[in-house]
Amino acid sequence: MTRPLPAPAFPGRRAPDLPPRAEMLRAMLERDAALDGIVYVAVRTTGIFCRPSCPARKPKPENVTFFGSAKEALSSGFRPCQRCRPLEPLGHTPEPIRALLDELERDPTRRLSDADLRERGLEPGAVRRWFKKHHGMTFHAYQRGRRLARALHALADGAPVTDAAFDHGYTSLSGFQDALQAVTGRSASASRDAVVVHLARLTTPLGEMLLGATDDAVCLLEFTDRPMLQTQLERIAKRLGGALVPGINDVGRRLEAELAAYFAGELRAFQTPLLLAGTDFQERVWNELRTIPYGETRSYAEQAVRIGSPRAVRAVARANGDNRIAIVVPCHRVIGADGSPVGYGGGIWRKRYLLELERRNRADAARA
């Protein structure tokens, strides 16, 4: 399920910390949910404020003001929209959907049909739209992914192919083989050593992120609106020989809890194991990133010197851009030679936000 993380202790973003106005207008006009919870659209002609993805008729850009929090919009005299309900928690999972997800976790072999959903008082179309929005796939595709994940674990544990198939909801060996071929590119017997990467979406104060974790370590944490996300997923699958399936495991839950503590200003160093899965050079760069203290910054040139390649500044910058584990591998702490926050795949405004979050928390701790 999509899991919301708490906002930092300090209130909403000031205007300079918001994304560029052109980006906010684009999100509003295209009803892009990527900025939901990050900015709020206030319409001066109606006195109403909304999420950028609100389905209501879009106002003229000249009549729009943007805020970094619902509190700011309310304090400025705007009232919440009754269609997109911007005061409701972002990423909130409706109780009927939560019950459905819990049912699937208890028995992933279940094959719930549209008729089964109706028996539970759920409209199949509404369920499909919720899963498409929050998981990037239909409910039935989500079910198939969860079944396949359990079957892959059974294969890895040495179960016969027939048991792995029929014990996990597959009605034929050919269907099981086809499912494995589509996800792993291999036959069932060759899929025994496939690394299963569980993918879960998290809602953070900086927008939705995709978390990927094997049974042992986190290998992905990326903003879902980053253009390189699909490329990163393909690289992970190829490099690990992995199968990407929906869901969250214990490793993912551990990082989820640490992220919540980080955004609340209660955590400075992440402890969840990481699987960097890069080239030798990339991993040297990424491991060096992890040595930058909380609340401090380095230049790309300084980073190049520290890995013993002082002339490889551009290569270091490229490796930073290829980082697949945002925030935890803190590429946001690397800045330009002039001190400007340049070069962040998630957007410069997110980099500023993270640096300000850490700077404030460090200063508050020093005063305490």
- The catalytic residue positions are 50, 331
- 254 with 247: CB under 8 angstroms? no
244 sits in which H/E element: strand 242-246
267 sits in which H/E element: none
Secondary structure of residue 81 in the 3-state scheme: coil
- 235 with 241: CB under 8 angstroms? no
**Position 121: which residue type?**
G
Q: Token pair 């399920």 is at which residue?
A: 1
User: Residue 219 and residue 236: Cα distance in Å, rounded?
Assistant: 8
User: Residue 142 and residue 112: Cα distance in Å, rounded?
Assistant: 11
Residue 326's nearest CA partner among 255, 252, 220, 244 is: 220
Question: Interhelix angle for 139-156 vs 95-106, to 10°?
Answer: 30
**Position 130: which residue type?**
W
CA dihedral (161, 163, 167, 170) positive or negative: positive
